[in-house]
Amino acid sequence: MSMSAPAEIRPLPPRGVAGDFWGGLASMLVALPSALAFGVLVFTVLGPGYGGQGALAGLAGAAVLGIIAPLVGRTGGLISAPCAPAAAVLSAFAASLIAMKMEAPAILPLLAFTALLAGVLQILFGALGGGRLIKYIPYPVVSGYLSGVGVLIVLGQVPKLLGLSGEIPPALGLVSPTLWAWPGLCVGGATILLTLLAPRLTAKVPAVVFGLLGGLLTYLILAAFDPALRILAHNPLVVGPVPAGSEILQGMVRHLHSMSAPGPITLRLILIPGLTLAVLLSVDTLKTCVVLDALTRRRHDADRELVGQGVGNLLSSLAGGMPGSGTLGPTLVNFSSGGRTWRSGAVS
């Protein structure tokens, strides 16, 4: 009796330009709200007045990294955007600089240099074949660090969810309901609840989008009964003014002028955060690529993808944007919506 040869596993056929377009559009709806939130998370560490600048940094990072990484890395269907590890590392770094009594205007270039250094290191990882070595990092190490990332994000967001002012210690605010801003708690609670319930209600609308729209609607309903919520000036529950039009270009020019040649002190400050960021973003990207390989029945080029991510993060830092990685959530939405090639990432 002869044994039959195993069936050859062939890559899934592409869905064409239409599939890439709809996949990119759907993944953008997931990636963009998260990118804005991560930007606000980092920049509000510097003070509530930096929220609008943080939102723009998230948008710029999603745009620059999202376009450049697919053009260079060429992993079909991968969506790159600002991510939670980047937000956690940069917000912790910013908090440590504030603890050193450094002023916010002096911290902004250091955050950009940290992202730039991470991009340069990712390019070196890819050029030296590091893509094959990073995959050997033990899962408990990655899991432990990402769990720590989650804890840092929760600790940073709970005071904002409760509407506590910066002068109130978080431990005291948590046990003092009289200090809570109940409109903010209602809006945040509705957003969280709808995000969790969305997958049970419909699979067509991404959960993040469902929660975002539900939170906005909740705020508008509360504003109909409370005139104070309809005022934007000095409103602690809104992000604040976001630069638009020519202000964006002017802001980028000012950002580049602020990034003078780094000296020894700057390099000493950014070395460890930059290296940590580069490793985390690389692991996050390659982990997503492995999942994508299983879906598309293809095999990604790890070294080329690291170079693409590095170039994207480098240019994003120069544009004043947040760094990021190949993100799992938007990538899965892209795939399920028909995105198969690198073009879907650029469309996103």
Backbone angles phi, psi at 326, to 5 degrees: -70, 115
> What tokens appear for 251 in the block?
């802001």
- Return the number of other C-beta atoms located less than 10 Å from residue 159's C-beta: 16
Look at 8-17, 128-137, 270-279 and tell me which has the smallest mean pLDDT: 8-17
Q: Which domain holds residue 77?
A: 16-148+244-347
Q: Is the pLDDT score of 150 beyond 90?
A: no
| Domain annotation covers residue 229 | no
> What tokens appear for 275 in the block?
């290296």
C-alpha distances (whole Å) from 100 to each of 58, 94, 117, 276 are 26, 10, 22, 20
> What tokens appear for 38 in the block?
């991560």
pTM score, two decimals?
0.83
| Domain annotation covers residue 314 | yes
* 6-46 confidence digits (pLDDT tens): 444 556 555 688 889 988 988 998 898 889 989 999 998 89
Q: Binning pLDDT at 50, 70 and 90, where does residue 1 land?
A: very low
> What pLDDT score was predicted for residue 226?
92
Phi-psi region of 112 (alpha: psi -120 to 50; beta: other; left: phi over 0): alpha
| Domain annotation covers residue 282 | yes
Look at 7-21, 68-82, 227-241, 268-282 and tell me which has the smallest mean pLDDT: 7-21
Q: Is the pLDDT score of 345 beyond 90?
A: yes
Percent of the chain topping pLDDT 70: 94
Contacts of 332 (CB under 8 A, 6+ apart): 291, 295
* 238-254 confidence digits (pLDDT tens): 887 887 777 778 878 88
| Domain annotation covers residue 235 | no
| Domain annotation covers residue 204 | no
| DSSP characters over 28-89 | HHHHHHHHHHHHHHHHGGG-GGGHHHHHHHHHHHHHHHHHHHHHHH--TT--EEE-HHHHHH
Is the separation of the CB atoms in 87 and 42 below 8 Å?
yes
Q: Is the pLDDT score of 3 beyond 70?
A: no
- Return the number of other C-beta atoms located less than 10 Å from residue 145's C-beta: 18
The total domain count for the chain is: 1
By CB atoms closer than 10 A (0-12, 13-18, 19+), residue 129 is: exposed
Q: Which of 8 and 48 is assigned the larger pLDDT? A: 48
* 315-326 confidence digits (pLDDT tens): 999 999 999 999
| Domain annotation covers residue 225 | no
> What tokens appear for 89 in the block?
């590392």
| Domain annotation covers residue 194 | no
What is the sign of the dihedral through the CA atoms of 328, 329, 334 and 335?
A: positive
Q: Is the pLDDT score of 5 beyond 70?
A: no
The continuous run of DSSP H or E covering 173 comes out as: helix 170-174
Contacts of 345 (CB under 8 A, 6+ apart): 24, 66, 67, 69, 70, 77, 78, 79, 80, 334, 339
- Return the number of other C-beta atoms located less than 10 Å from residue 226's C-beta: 10
| Domain annotation covers residue 185 | no
